[in-house]
Amino acid sequence: MSERGLLIVLSGPSGVGKGTVRKAIFDSEENDFQYSISMTTRKMREGEVEGVDYYFRTKEEFEAMIEAGEMLEYAQYVGNYYGTPLSYVNQTLDKGKDVFLEIEVQGAEQVKEQVPDGVFIFLTPPDLAELKSRIVGRGTDDHEVIEERMRVAREEIEMMALYDYAVVNDEVPLAVKRIKEIIASEHFRVDRVIGNYIKMLKEM
Amino acid sequence: MSERGLLIVLSGPSGVGKGTVRKAIFDSEENDFQYSISMTTRKMREGEVEGVDYYFRTKEEFEAMIEAGEMLEYAQYVGNYYGTPLSYVNQTLDKGKDVFLEIEVQGAEQVKEQVPDGVFIFLTPPDLAELKSRIVGRGTDDHEVIEERMRVAREEIEMMALYDYAVVNDEVPLAVKRIKEIIASEHFRVDRVIGNYIKMLKEM
């Protein structure tokens, strides 16, 4: 049965290990999705290849694409733009192939607005799962340190609320396994497949 | 982190092989959920054990439990009651253990009303996935036969709409794998885990 691909968004707080997990997923067996290549205005480095590492564009070209609504998400970092072009993502999804985005939380928020039926996975630091012991367990830290840790934890929990799934990155192979199971399961969601059945019946 | 168990409901059209799949799941490795034992008013057969095969009760006892709202779901079949007692299910969920129910579609509808956040999995016959070829593919059947097949398919699709997931029972080991992945993934859903994080923060 033909079915549109899923847009999978992996994000999480900076430093949580998103890139490592994404790489491990793409290096693993039985991965049947497409990594979306980002577009950037930063200079191409030695060894990098256009359309493999990034799509390299000028600032003017990038801004014209933003203006035209052709970016699924984008952000500025150290004076350069980074983002995901919409056209490639849509073409891949239309072919029935899943697209996997590993992006920062700000980008994930933009994608959520444009593609609410994407699969949003929040990678959680292990110290969030062990919140209590991390924050107060040692009992030797002063009030301000504890307050700061609680503020960070609160921020991460607030971010998490926008996502469909929260996966703890305690061990990379475990996180990979969980994410692959989530993607497999999402393909069986009734609201994703029932339309095809109804269409089949109507066409007869 | 303590988390309430999931109520997993496996159902589907009669004859789809629910019992076979359920048995294969419980015989498989790494299954960490509790099969809910049904209650019935039918006579105990030789070799059956109270509290293992069924809870055997009189018609009067069963009807008193229905009256008292102590049945999660029940149905009558060939003059006997069959159903799931609520207390056992709730106790098991409160311990953080998942409960697995394999029941008829009418029962699943009752459970859906009482426990909307359960995980509802619809086992689909392979001929529903191959709907078109099954219904019109051979081209030798008369109009009435085709109409009847379409009516059955339409009914099954209508049933499916109440569920969260639709899993094709093409091969039992594959169906088992898919169902176990779904259950694992559901444990990572943000709406199931975020409450624990918020509670942890509040308690500090």
DSSP assignment of chain A equals ---PPPEEEEE-STTS-HHHHHHHHHHSTT--EEEPPPEE-SPPPTT--BTTTBEE--HHHHHHHHHTT-EEEEEEETTEEEEEEHHHHHHHHHTT-EEEEE--HHHHHHHHHH-TTSEEEEEEPHHHHTHHIIIIIT--S-HHHHHHHHHHHHHHHHHHTTSSEEEE-SSHHHHHHHHHHHHHHHTTBHHHHHHHHHHHHHH-
Contact assessment for residue B173 and residue A105, using Cβ atoms and an 8 Å cutoff: no
Q: Which of B9, B165, B186, B187 to mutate to test the interface with A (most CBs of A within 10 A)?
A: B165
What residues does each domain of chain A span?
Answer: 7-203
Q: pLDDT-derived band of residue A102, with 50, 70 and 90 as boundaries? A: very high
Backbone angles phi, psi at A36, to 5 degrees: -85, 125
Report, as an integer, the average pLDDT of B83-112: 92
A12 is in an annotated binding site: yes
In whole numbers, what is the pLDDT of chain B averaged over residues? Answer: 88
Q: Examine the pLDDT at A131 and tell me if it is beyond 80.
A: no
Q: What percent of chain A has pLDDT over 70?
A: 92
Q: Which of A189, A191, A197, A201 to mutate to test the interface with B (most CBs of B within 10 A)?
A: A197
Q: Examine the pLDDT at B155 and tell me if it is beyond 70.
A: yes
Query: Closest approach of chain A CAs to the CA of B7, in angstroms?
Result: 17
- The chain A residue lying nearest B127, using CA atoms, is A197
In whole numbers, what is the pLDDT of chain A averaged over residues? Answer: 88
The beta-carbon neighbor of A131 closest among B153, B163, B200 is B200
Q: Examine the pLDDT at A1 and tell me if it is beyond 60.
A: no
* Model pLDDT, residue A188: 95
Report, as an integer, the average pLDDT of B168-183: 95
Q: Examine the pLDDT at A142 and tell me if it is beyond 60.
A: yes
| Residues in contact with A189: Cβ distance below 8 Å, sequence separation at least 6, in sequence order | B164, B165, B166
Determine contact: A1 vs chain B, CB below 8 A: yes
Q: Examine the pLDDT at B195 and tell me if it is beyond 90.
A: no
If one compares A87 and B34, the residue with the highest pLDDT of the two is: A87
Q: Examine the pLDDT at A143 and tell me if it is beyond 90.
A: no
Determine contact: A22 vs chain B, CB below 8 A: no
ipTM over 0.95 threshold: no
The beta-carbon neighbor of B167 closest among A132, A135, A188 is A188
Report, as an integer, the average pLDDT of A121-143: 74
Q: Examine the pLDDT at A168 and tell me if it is beyond 70.
A: yes
Identity of residue A140:
T
Q: DSSP state, B16?
A: S
Q: pLDDT-derived band of residue B85, with 50, 70 and 90 as boundaries? A: very high
Q: Is B160–A135 a contact, with Cβ atoms under 8 angstroms apart?
A: no
Q: pLDDT-derived band of residue A171, with 50, 70 and 90 as boundaries? A: very high
For domain B7-203, which CATH number applies: 3.40.50.720, 3.40.47.10, 3.40.50.300, 3.40.1360.10? 3.40.50.300
* Model pLDDT, residue B129: 65
